[in-house]
Amino acid sequence: MIHNQITSSSIKSAGFDPKTGEMEVEFQTGRKYRYQNVPQGTYDSFVNAKSQGKFFGSEIRPLFKFEKAEDD
């Protein structure tokens, strides 16, 4: 999955697979998590948000199931 750099104090990068709706987030700590069934529009809004960290905290983290991603 290709990641885009994110301008955030807590999030380093994020990627999205439109075929599966899976969004992968890499935090500044190096930990990666995969969020399931994320709509393309939600990912697009996240990438374009004025504050990606705030958007993530209110519109993604509490609403979508997730799992820790294994290192590639």
Are the beta carbons of 44 and 50 closer than 8 angstroms?
no
How many Å apart are CA 33 and CA 38, to the nearest integer? 13
**For the chain, first and last CA: distance in Å?**
10
pTM, two decimals, is 0.91
Number of domains in the chain: 1
pLDDT confidence of 71, banded at 50, 70, 90? Answer: low
Positive or negative torsion for Cα 39, 59, 51, 54: negative
Q: For residue 52, what is the enclosing H or E element?
A: helix 52-55
Task: Write out the residue range of the structural domain in which residue 26 sits.
Answer: 3-68
pLDDT confidence of 10, banded at 50, 70, 90? Answer: very high
pLDDT in tens, 16-45: 999 999 999 999 999 999 999 999 999 999
